[in-house]
Amino acid sequence: MADLFEKCDVFMSRMRRSAGADFDKLDDVFHRVFPLDNSAPHIEFRGREMIQVSTNDYLGFAMHPEAIAAAAAVADEYGIGTPLGARPLTGTTALHLELEEKLAKFRRTEACAVHNLGLGAMSGTISCLVGRNEYVFVDSYAHGCVHDGARLARGQAAWFKHNDLADLESQLKEVPIDAPKLIAVDGVYGMSGELAPLPEIVALKEKYRARLLVDDAHGTGVLGDNGRGTPEYFGVEDEVDLHGGTFAKSFGTFGGYMCGPKNVIEFMRFQSQGYVLTKALPAAITAATIKTLELIQRMPERRKKLWENLDMLRAGLREAGLTIGNPRGAVTSVWARGMRALPAVYALEHEFGVIANLVLYPAVPINTSIIRVTLSAMHSPEDVQRVIDAFAEIHRRTPLQDGEPAELSLADNG
């Protein structure tokens, strides 16, 4: 008789076979316990100073003194967790309304709803909007929360090949032109750093009378002349119907949001389980996010410095013969065959003092692994060169990639 837990044993056995002699390194890499200052470019870790290129604090605002002061002032007066209710109950404060008003203005939309998680903003919005006899079309590489929203929706969900406009159009053609439909994509794909072809998707959206939701978690603060993300970069902000995102990247805080037409946002406030059935974002975090939203707009030099670092890193990695695809956001992924990324990440830390992220199956296919590097504006040119040199030496010893990388799977968890 089959047992519910049998799949767990099968999975771990498969991982052990794939990793071979490097299996013991998995525990070291996946269960690292970091210091609380782990968003800083340099951290003290396991008794050594390390370069950290593994968090998404792209602009370095997580430790900005003004953001810390904003959070501390609220925490000192009102406590850490307040408000302790869901938004429709006791969870809405003047700070939440202020952040929503300022985010809506920033995103050039009528309204905004702040959530305590980006996951809830995406999955809750999609699942409550797409009802029976309605359709949602999701890019296969979109973040897991977008996929969850499509699966939870009562309507019909379909997935199109990553950035494949022909596949998307072929699926849209199969649906009655007057049927309500939503296209859901990431602005920047978090595993590969690629951008969604938003102008072309907008054209399909208009041709087939669909609505468009863009989860711009990795684009906001990074792309566009004003940091408004991928839609601004492509000049299609007004054509995107719903602008979603998280505060856990360029904002340097925590939580998420959805911006769009006022009636749609109000409908979601009543219908979305990701909004209605969960505690409100803590007021201290809300205050800090108001401040970092201001900093994103006030300090464009941080965005400029980030791109100087990214250009230097990518040129150096390519010169060293590493395969990094075509990243155009802040994520840089170094591709590896099989499980070769595992010993490479271990060596980066233990030999070269560089902390990067390991990505394995099921986020990527079994025969592929990734080393995911996320620089920030706070890294120096010397830091970037040290990272390049470490990768180059590891790749010289044991090439990470033979030929072109396999395709990424649809999973993306960050």
The CATH number of the domain where 364 resides is what?
3.90.1150.10
Condensed to tens digits (0 to 9), the pLDDT of residues 114-150 reads 999 999 999 999 999 999 999 999 999 999 999 999 9
DSSP state of 396: H
Q: What is the DSSP string of 315-331?
A: HHHHHTT-------SSE
Shared-domain flag, residues 143 and 33? no
Phi, psi of 104 (to 5 degrees): -60, -40
Condensed to tens digits (0 to 9), the pLDDT of residues 276-286 reads 999 999 999 99
Phi, psi of 252 (to 5 degrees): 75, 20
pTM above 0.75, yes or no: yes
In a domain, 14, yes or no: yes
Shared-domain flag, residues 363 and 290? no
Amino acid code (one letter) for 255: G
pLDDT tens-digit profile, the chain (414 residues): 589 999 999 988 988 888 888 888 888 888 888 877 777 899 888 888 999 999 999 999 999 999 999 999 999 999 999 999 999 999 999 999 999 999 999 999 999 999 999 999 999 999 999 999 999 999 999 999 999 999 999 999 999 999 999 999 999 999 999 999 999 999 999 888 999 999 999 999 999 999 999 999 999 999 999 999 999 999 999 999 999 999 999 999 999 999 999 999 999 999 999 999 999 999 999 999 999 999 999 999 999 999 999 999 999 999 999 999 999 999 999 999 999 999 999 999 999 999 999 998 878 877 889 999 999 999 999 999 999 999 999 999 999 987 555 444 444 544
How many C-beta atoms lie closer than 10 Å to residue 17's C-beta? 10
Shared-domain flag, residues 82 and 47? no
Amino acid code (one letter) for 323: T
Shared-domain flag, residues 142 and 78? yes
Distances in whole angstroms, Cα of residue 43 to Cα of each of 61, 328, 348, 383: 16, 27, 15, 12
Give dist(CA 317, CA 391) in Å, integer. Answer: 7
In a domain, 93, yes or no: yes
In a domain, 412, yes or no: no
Amino acid code (one letter) for 405: P
**Surface-to-core class of residue 278, CB atoms within 10 Å of its CB (0-12 exposed, 13-18 middle, 19+ buried):** middle
Shared-domain flag, residues 116 and 177? yes
Structural domain for 116, as ranges: 65-298
Q: With contact defined as beta carbons under 8 Å apart, do 274 and 264 qualify? A: no
Shared-domain flag, residues 130 and 263? yes
Shared-domain flag, residues 38 and 79? no
Give dist(CA 354, CA 36) in Å, integer. Answer: 17
Three-state DSSP at 386 gives: helix
In a domain, 158, yes or no: yes
Q: Which of 87, 22, 63, 16 is nearest to 336 (CA)?
A: 22
Shared-domain flag, residues 210 and 279? yes
Total domains in the chain come to 2
How many C-beta atoms lie closer than 10 Å to residue 90's C-beta? 13
Q: With contact defined as beta carbons under 8 Å apart, do 116 and 262 qualify? A: no
Shared-domain flag, residues 21 and 152? no
Distances in whole angstroms, Cα of residue 281 to Cα of each of 100, 123, 258, 278: 12, 17, 14, 9
Shared-domain flag, residues 304 and 192? no
Domain boundary, last residue among 277, 298, 319: 298
Shared-domain flag, residues 198 and 289? yes
CATH code of residue 259? 3.40.640.10
In a domain, 404, yes or no: no
Pairing of strands 256-260, 111-115: antiparallel
Please report, to the nearest 10 degrees, the dihedral formed by the alpha carbons of residues 386, 392, 398, 404 taken in order.
Answer: 120
Q: Which residues are CB-neighbours of 189 under 8 A, at least 6 positions away?
A: 139, 141, 142, 162, 195, 196, 218, 329, 331, 412
First to last CA, the chain: 37
Shared-domain flag, residues 253 and 203? yes
Q: What is the DSSP string of 205-225?
A: HHHTT-EEEEE-TTTTTTSST
In a domain, 402, yes or no: no
In a domain, 414, yes or no: no
Q: With contact defined as beta carbons under 8 Å apart, do 143 and 167 qualify? A: no
Q: Which residues are CB-neighbours of 29 under 8 A, at least 6 positions away?
A: 342, 345, 346, 349, 358
In a domain, 411, yes or no: no
Q: Which long-range contacts (CB under 8 A, 24 or more apart) does 380-387 make?
A: 380/41, 381/309, 381/312, 383/41, 383/42, 383/51, 384/309, 384/312, 384/313, 384/316, 385/312, 385/316, 386/51, 386/352, 386/353, 386/354, 387/51, 387/53, 387/313, 387/354
Condensed to tens digits (0 to 9), the pLDDT of residues 362-372 reads 788 778 899 99
Domain boundary, last residue among 252, 277, 298: 298
